[in-house]
Structure 1
Amino acid sequence: MQQDGVYNYVLMTVPALLHSADESWFEPLPMDEQSEDIIEDTWGDLNKKSLLK
């Protein structure tokens, strides 16, 4: 049970950390809008799955 809690905590905090990170931090890895949408969709799916548990 405790492991699930840690797993959900990581899923909830990592996207928030990435979202709040300074934009310049991503400069070495330029992405077009399509790539950003794919990443956002993936994180959204992961968050929905973790919330449904």
Structure 2
Amino acid sequence: MRYAQQTLRRSLCCDGHFHGIRPFKLPGGRLLWPADEIDDLATGKAREQAAA
């Protein structure tokens, strides 16, 4: 799974999430994406849960 950094930022800005995942904003403006949700997205579990 490869996305350009700008793709993630644009999706977050326009939709408020990236495939249903919302990052935490750290001091200094950096974004912390939840690793467990990213792993689920990469393995396809996120799609399975959405379909259920």
Using structure 1 for the length normalisation, give the TM-score.
0.28
- Higher Cα Rg: structure 1 or 2? 1
The structure carrying a bigger helix percent of its residues is: 1
Which structure is higher in RCO with an 8 Å CA cutoff and minimum separation 6? Answer: 1
